[in-house]
Structure 1
């Protein structure tokens, strides 16, 4: 396992929100607070070595996070990953936990399970709804140089597919790309007995 104290959290909060016409999706309200602050709150008790948020200048204040500015979010998620991992490498991290700020239902318990499943500096451990791997994910230090080569939106998909997967409830891995995604998540909160299927939780891409 990799201890949280040896890992740097890299929270990705930069993007164009191109499918969220009302504005920045991270600033949209969900259960009384902005979408983008839910995962930050959920992981507040995890004793990471350091917390980084990669942002393009959205209005949210991420308390307890060092801000890494992505001034070209149009280049895709790969740029945000490179910026965050480069800083984590400077900090001497043994691993990074890469999480997305638009996934408001991620829990600390799940992140601990990811860290428990990570073995060695070459570890690659991703979340899964039982069908498709996705963030949050843990990457050991031996993977940093590869992550620093990422470009565009594809990210580390091939690496993640070949890694270890920790399955959790599909509802925990819903990410918010559109107003419809947010409405769907609100329906789940109002009706906890309703089951989100893997097909519903999976993004169209």
Structure 2
């Protein structure tokens, strides 16, 4: 078990939204009356992290108003690992015992699930990932003994083997929905009866 006060939250929000279309950033798209990328920040607002880091690209989401230090990835084309490095470098510099890496395009994550990840943490080398019962995914918790490995990653897939071998905490598939395309966002809006589902049908292909 680890205390949230010893954990730095790293929220990855620098993706190029290539599969979503030429809209700037999908994280700025409205969902349940707030930007898609802000839902994780709001859901975890009461968790007393040591610090909250948002690694951003071109999204205009107002992370600072929710307690985040914003760090910019000026070259997100290098892949997700480049954003992970930016966040982990800061966490290592301030002596964090672990980082929780979350994605800003997963708007259904809950604080309850994050606390179950904390409960499953057992030592500094721990890797604790989320799972829908079939495959691991973010959010994922990494102990400080894994920081140097995370800092050596390249591209988008370097951490997958480490996560696959780690401990997995199962939650509902609905909580781990991520949004990569306009169609996925429309389906999610309809699933939760979001007002945008009834006012933005012109956005469909």
Calculate the TM-score normalised by the size of structure 2: 0.91
Number of the residue aligned with 1:51: 52
Q: Which runs of 4+ in 1 moved over 2 A?
A: none
Number of the residue aligned with 1:16: 16
Number of the residue aligned with 1:140: 143
Number of the residue aligned with 2:128: 125
Number of the residue aligned with 2:85: 82
Preserved contact between residue 11 and residue 99 of structure 1 (Cα < 8 Å): yes
Number of the residue aligned with 2:202: none
Residues of 1 paired with 2:103 and 2:127: CA distance?
17
Number of the residue aligned with 2:36: 35
Number of the residue aligned with 2:6: 6
- Three-state SS of the structure 1 residue aligned to 2:192 is helix
**1:188 CA drift (Å):** 1.8
Residues of 2 paired with 1:44 and 1:164: CA distance?
25
> How many residue pairs were aligned?
191
Number of the residue aligned with 2:62: 61
- Three-state SS of the structure 2 residue aligned to 1:190 is coil
**1:22 CA drift (Å):** 4.8
Number of the residue aligned with 2:157: 154
**1:190 CA drift (Å):** 2.7
Residues of 2 paired with 1:47 and 1:35: CA distance?
22
Residues of 2 paired with 1:160 and 1:49: CA distance?
23
Counterpart of 2:103 (choices 90, 100, 103) is: 100
Number of the residue aligned with 2:172: 169
Confirm or deny that 1:185 pairs with 2:172. Answer: no
Residues of 2 paired with 1:58 and 1:155: CA distance?
24
Preserved contact between residue 28 and residue 34 of structure 1 (Cα < 8 Å): yes
**1:166 CA drift (Å):** 0.3
Residues of 2 paired with 1:175 and 1:188: CA distance?
14
Residues of 2 paired with 1:41 and 1:93: CA distance?
22
Calculate the TM-score normalised by the size of structure 1: 0.91
Preserved contact between residue 8 and residue 95 of structure 1 (Cα < 8 Å): yes
CA RMSD, 1 decimal: 1.1
